[in-house]
Structure 1
Amino acid sequence: MAGVILPRCAACGRLMTLTGFVTANGELVCRRHAHERPAVCCGLPADLALRTDWPLCPRCGATAVRTQQDVKRVLPPIAARIRSLSIRTTTPVRVRLVPRDELQNRLTGPGEVHGLTVVAGLDVMDLMVARDLPLVRFGVVVAHEVMHAYLAQQGFGDLSPQVEEGLCELLAHAWLKDQPGDPAEWERRRITHNPDPVYGDGFRAARDAAIRIGGVRRMLDHVRRHGTLPGPP
């Protein structure tokens, strides 16, 4: 007779003798956790004892960027990878870690925001990233916000939200390409399949335009000159 191997719950590790559910990332969780608050990035049950600004599971909490000292420790390789993609700000921009409420209080629209760049003409006044994000999500947000800073400093002017946010998501996705592990893969999938008409459609339009025109650099040159993505031939 063939044996049956029961899977284990991704949250508590117990055998799945009870029915459960699958998170957005494809992890199986037993029904013991059905009414627990999901973690912001992975969807596993959050550990509220962590006392973080965002609900995090223990796995994500272990990599959370919680202080400005953490930023100094983890930012150099992130910045180096962004520079290797030929995105360089003309003047250094400080990444400032801020509480979740500080970001939300600056905005009036719905939804949660993990980063914000404040510009005035060619000058970047502030680049904020939410405190307590897991390392991979922190890197994604940094890359996204650095592209906002780059577009301002390079004089791209007023772009439509879909074009600008699409370019920012394109850089975030490019940064993820050489990041190992499941969290990076989940972030790549989230960006690629995001149904949002500004961020998701914008990313896919920027990606397709770069492929069509022969690379990101040529695509950016077109956007700088015309204020729009290159269209089909």
Structure 2
Amino acid sequence: MITEPHRLTRHCEVTAILVLYGLPRLLTGSILAHEMMHAWLRLKGYPNLSPEVEEGICQVLAHMWLESELYSGSANGGASSSSSAPPSSPTASSKKGKRSDFEKKFGEFFKHQIESDTSSAYGDGFRLGNQAVLKYGLKRTLDHILMTGSFPV
């Protein structure tokens, strides 16, 4: 019998993302952003990442989504702050209307939960990933993760 080395390749297919029904809109959106990042990493062929790197970058995306929801167009009371759109034109942020103070506080609470998480995978991973994204941008951080399996320093 002749044997030779054979490299196994793992093919991962994402077929669904499940989210509980009835959660608040901002929590649902942040969960979807987090889970969609997991799916994207699989579909783009990222190697087996440590929990800190994978959960960290997924938390970064959840946090970014929350920030985009809370601060998009907030400068002029919910209308778009885009200079290319006339003040009367409907935009993605103005279609939702002005966010209530309750919703803003709820969103800030969810952001704070991500920022202050004490677990190594979710909390420390988020802080390392967020620091990398703030310093290098999302694309360069993701490129570095693909090449090295770790966050850039």
Aligned-pair identity in percent equals 38
Aligned to 2:146: 224
Q: 2-side partners of 1:226 and 1:154: how far apart?
A: 15
Q: Once the two structures are superposed, what CA deviation does each residue of 1:56-107 show, in whole Å capped at 9, x if it has no partner? A: xxxxxxxxxxxxxxxxxxxxxxxxxxxxxxxxxxxxxxxxxxxxxxxxxxxx
2:145 is matched by which residue type in structure 1?
Answer: V
Aligned to 2:109: 186
More strand by share: 1
Q: How does 1:1-233 map to 2 (within 5 A)?
A: 121-180=11-70, 181-212=104-135, 214-231=136-153
Greater relative contact order (CA < 8 Å, ≥ 6 in sequence): 2
State whether residues 122 and 154 of structure 1, in contact with CA within 8 Å, keep that contact through their aligned partners in structure 2: no
Q: 2-side partners of 1:210 and 1:134: how far apart?
A: 27
State whether residues 192 and 204 of structure 1, in contact with CA within 8 Å, keep that contact through their aligned partners in structure 2: yes
Alpha-carbon RMSD: 1.4
TM-fit CA distance, 1:133: 1.1
Q: 1-side partners of 2:145 and 2:134: how far apart?
A: 14
Aligned to 2:90: none
Q: 1-side partners of 2:11 and 2:127: how far apart?
A: 27
1:144 is matched by which residue type in structure 2?
Answer: H
Q: 1-side partners of 2:33 and 2:11: how far apart?
A: 20
Q: Name structure 2 gaps, 5 residues minimum.
A: 1-9, 71-103
Q: 1-side partners of 2:51 and 2:68: how far apart?
A: 27
Please list every run of at least 4 consecutive aligned residues from structure 1 whose deviation after the TM superposition is greater than 3 angstroms: none
> SS of the residue aligned with 2:69?
coil
1:163 is matched by which residue type in structure 2?
Answer: V
Q: 1-side partners of 2:20 and 2:130: how far apart?
A: 26
Q: 1-side partners of 2:27 and 2:134: how far apart?
A: 26
- State the aligned residue count: 111
Q: 1-side partners of 2:124 and 2:16: how far apart?
A: 27
Q: 1-side partners of 2:68 and 2:130: how far apart?
A: 17
TM-score, with normalisation over the residues of structure 2?
0.68
